[in-house]
Amino acid sequence: MSLITSLSAQQLRRAAAIKEQIQSLENEFSRIFGSSTKSAIAAAPKKKFKMSAAARARISAAAKARWAKVNGRKVAVKQASKAKGKMSAAAKKKLSAMAKARWAKAKAAGKKKL
């Protein structure tokens, strides 16, 4: 609002004239294409963004730390724990056998070169 109050009467009249020109051009455009430009923009659905709980926790912790810095005190910030993947004994055994096979193949290939 301070921007409008700082304008002169002549500038305000010029702004009103430009706004009228824009409206007349929009009306002419809608007559040519048979629809309004505003309705086409408003009709587009907005995509919803879903934030994960971990992301919200990180943002919250960062905001709390910023405010603590502003207020001059420290805040204990908990780090969001990452879920650790658990591997079954059978899967570990299978990976171990695959690694041993790779090493045996590499060692055999190395001996052939010598």
Tell me, yes or no, whether 66 and 33 share the same domain: no
Is residue 30 a contact partner of residue 37, using CB atoms and an 8 Å limit? yes
Kindly give the parts of the chain with pLDDT less than 50: none
Give pTM, 2 decimals.
0.28
Is residue 64 a contact partner of residue 77, using CB atoms and an 8 Å limit? yes
Residue 21 belongs to domain spanning? 2-43
Q: Is residue 89 part of a domain?
A: no
Q: Is residue 65 part of a domain?
A: yes
pLDDT of residue 111: 77
Is residue 96 a contact partner of residue 80, using CB atoms and an 8 Å limit? no
Tell me, yes or no, whether 38 and 58 share the same domain: no
pLDDT of residue 109: 86
Domain count, the chain: 2
CA-to-CA distance for 11 and 44, rounded, in angstroms? 35
CA-to-CA distance for 103 and 111, rounded, in angstroms? 12
pLDDT of residue 85: 79
pLDDT of residue 94: 96
pLDDT of residue 20: 93
Tell me, yes or no, whether 55 and 25 share the same domain: no
Q: Is residue 97 part of a domain?
A: no
CA-to-CA distance for 35 and 79, rounded, in angstroms? 53
